[in-house]
Copies of this chain bind each other. A is one copy, B any other.
Amino acid sequence: MTDEFLQAAIEEARAGLAEGGIPIGSVLVHRGKIIGRGHNRRVQQGSAILHGEMDALENAGRLPAQVYRESVLYTTLSPCPMCSGAILLYGIPKVVIGENTTFMGDENLLRQRGITLEIAQNAECIALMQHFIEQHPTLWHEDIGE
């Protein structure tokens, strides 16, 4: 059974897909409660920086450092260098990653800096991205700077 918070991130990814966007979602969880949720907004807002994780962090709003340090970030896809950098900036100690088979982010850097990563290899996350990349390869490459 899928973790309830990973499930919430998947719901965000599906909401993004329904809007015509890239299906990547994320939630920030503080002490067992979702305090921010979001999904990739490249298409919807013409955004170059609102990846799923960034949108979740933005929607969580301004927070004291201590809150990030007691939080877990859930994301449907392995975090790219930008999102990994945001995790490092705020010192989020743990990241639960839906899958890293369709895209491998900066996981090595995160591990080197002491972040705990949990990779679910969730079939739904993989299917969402596989299907999207097949149908929109150019858009996907734009999102990862390729």
Contact = CB atoms under 8 A, between A and B. Distances in A.
A64 B145 CA distance: 8
A49 B145 CA distance: 19
Contacts of A68: 145
A95 B146 CA distance: 19
A80 B85 CA distance: 8
A128 interface: no
Nearest to A88: B81
21 contacts: A42-B62, A47-B62, A48-B58, A48-B63, A49-B54, A49-B58, A62-B142, A64-B142, A65-B141, A65-B142, A65-B145, A65-B146, A80-B89, A82-B82, A83-B85, A85-B85, A85-B86, A85-B106, A88-B106, A89-B145, A109-B109
